[in-house]
Amino acid sequence: MLKVAKFGGTSLANAEQMKKVTGIVTSDTDRKVIVVSAPGKRSGEDTKVTDLLIELGEAALSKKDTETALQHVVSRYREIAEELGLGEEITNTIEDDLRSRLAFDTSHSAQFMDQLKASGEDNNAKLFARYLQSMGYDAEYVNPEEAGLFVSDTPGNAQVLPESYENLYQLRNRRGILVFPGFFGYSKEGRLVTFPRGGSDITGSILAAGIKADLYENFTDVDSVFAANPTVVSDPVAIKRMTYREMRELSYAGFGVFHDEALIPAFQSNIPVCVKNTNNPESNGTMIINEREYALNPVIGIAAKKGFSTIYVRKYLMNREIGFGRRLLEIIEDEGISYEHMPSGIDDTSVILEEDQLTPEKEENILRRVRDELQVDDAYIEKDHAMIMLVGEGMHETVGIAARATKAMSDQGINIDMINQGSSEVSLSFGIHEDDVEVAIRGLYEEFFSSKEVLQ
């Protein structure tokens, strides 16, 4: 069996955590490719290295003194290196690397920030590989460019290029443990480019697909994926097995385990993913697979995402006007805005979109054009909405899910602004006000999970 194992920032936040990761990696010779994130928070009040790097980059772009911010980053690595018994050489290597990145051209701010942010993962991979070597293990740091991980030249939003998979397959021929930095690849022109949020998860998924791994293990700081947010619901049910589609729907709706795009390469190659806990590696975790047998409970998880706005448009006999929806969406497209949902009635329609895409100027432009070009009876924008989602492959075979959900929220005194079921029938989403989110989650959890069924 061949495994790719990815370790998140909390798993590598300090020397103690790195020792745990070393024990996990070396306990199983099948774990050949190790993907690392930048050091995360050591405690609740701590700052992630990535955030320190952003501060450093912003100081450089503002032409401010960068030395203090630079030393904050270097000191994090120095502390880890010293506690691992490594010499000054690795810390000096990391500091030299950071100084060379600061010397990059700042006229292209997005490219410059990509360089700096990616150093968190890159230097942590170098440090971890050095520690493995110091412990007598056959290990090496692998540079993504040298390995052939090529991506689109879109700073902060890289997409893997198809030829990368064939290139990465050659890693199977190398000896020992391969330590690979997450979060970034290289354009065909040789520029470093980062993935979007959750980029190290994306790297791990790409590598698993590239080397045709038998399993992709994603180590984090929880024992499994839970049926609801444990900060909202006390002691929620742990999900033992779920499908890629379920995970993607839940990730989109606010589950923090994965970015919603992270698993696509593994999914396309039919590689199972196991979410495990670095601090409790003996736990079975959650297996994410292509297909699963249906559990007793048709709903496998509940998630919520805040920060939505709704554009309401009303016009008498709208349903008879050919091209009305297309023209409305073109107005929104012209402002560079994507939409999430578009529920419609006979005389009205709503376009739901992420609130952070809107500015006062864009709002004014959209409403003006909607009124002038579409000759509507009314148009306005409402903010502070949230989407709450029920997810489960078994829902499409079960009668009454929507009725149970709406009753559960009605019992809590929650007004529902929108109901939308995906065409795949894997998810059912509700639009509500942001202030009602936690009450809604608890009400829905009580309705669908009160008997504490064990999810398979």
Q: Where are the domains of the chain?
A: 3-221, 301-449
What percent of the chain is predicted at pLDDT more than 70? 97
d(CA 34, CA 13): 16
Q: What is the pLDDT of residues 277-316, one digit of tens each?
A: 999 999 999 999 988 766 667 899 999 999 999 999 999 9
User: For the chain, which residues score pLDDT lower than 70?
Assistant: 260, 293-296, 422-424, 451-456
pLDDT at 103: 94
For 158, phi and psi rounded to 5 degrees? -65, 145
Supply the pLDDT for residue 456. 45
Element (H, E) at 76: helix 67-83
Annotated binding site for substrate: 50, 121
CA-wise closest residue to 149 among 213, 206, 218:
206
Element spanning 226, H or E: strand 225-226
* CATH no. for 301-449: 3.30.2130.10
Q: Output the pLDDT for position 83.
A: 97
Architecture in CATH for domain 3-221: 3-Layer(aba) Sandwich (3.40)
Cα gap 91→101, rounded to integer Å: 15
Residue positions in the annotated binding site for ATP? 6-9, 220-221
Neighbours of 375 (CB within 10 A): 9
pTM for this entry: 0.86
Q: Decide if 4 contacts 33 (C-beta within 8 A).
A: yes
In angstroms, what CA-CA distances link 432 with 354, 441, 445?
A: 14, 11, 16
pLDDT of residue 163: 96
Binding site: what residues are annotated? 6-9, 50, 121, 220-221
pLDDT, tens only, 369-421: 999 999 999 999 999 999 999 999 888 878 889 999 999 999 999 999 888 87
